[in-house]
Amino acid sequence: MRAKTVIAAAFGCVSFVACAQTTTEPPVVTWEIDVVRDGTTIDTFDGTTPIGQAAAATHHHETVHRVGCKQAPAARIDLVRSLTVSPVRLDASGVTLAIEAQDTIEDDTEQRTPDGCPLPPEPRRLTASHPGLVVPSGQWTNWTILESHPALVYRVRASVASH
């Protein structure tokens, strides 16, 4: 009989501990990323994501270039940009975001045929990762992907979402 009492007491203690713990949802972060090429905003991503989770988005922008000496619109390039954003920490210094970026941009180098006729720009694939970009709450922070040719900067803002 004593063994049953000890086992019952142990189960009662476990259920009491489980009941005493409160389940709180992780804080939710609102974030925005402006993609800036040579000083001009060319794309924007935004979202609301709980700490410890990730949000992914992909944007497509198709461009058509006139090529050859007849300037025929023929060269289509799909510029794809994908981001995965994960708020990993929230503290007094701001929100820390882990960001994975894959970007297809057009090369700035002008290309021509031997006859001097224009060719379309070559697409350039970029991959960048930042494991812990600290963004002061509500302020913009720059993450430079390319310094020049072209300059590519991700402007990032984040803060705790209001409920």
Full pLDDT tens readout for the chain, 163 residues: 444 444 444 444 444 444 445 568 899 999 999 999 999 999 999 999 999 999 999 999 998 888 878 887 777 889 999 999 999 999 999 999 999 999 999 988 888 888 888 888 889 999 999 999 999 999 999 999 999 989 999 999 999 987 6
Neighbours of 139 (CB within 10 A): 11
- pLDDT of 15 reads 44
Tell me the domain boundaries of the chain. 26-160
DSSP letters, the chain, are -HHHHHHHHHHHHHHHHHHHS---PPPEEEEEEEEEETTEEEEEEEEEEETT--EEEEEEEEEEEEETTTTEEEEEEEEEEEEEEEEEEEETTEEEEEEEEEEEEE-S--EE-TTS-EEPPPEEEEEEEEEEEEE-TTSEEEEEEESSSS-EEEEEEEEEPP-
- pLDDT of 18 reads 45
- pLDDT of 75 reads 76
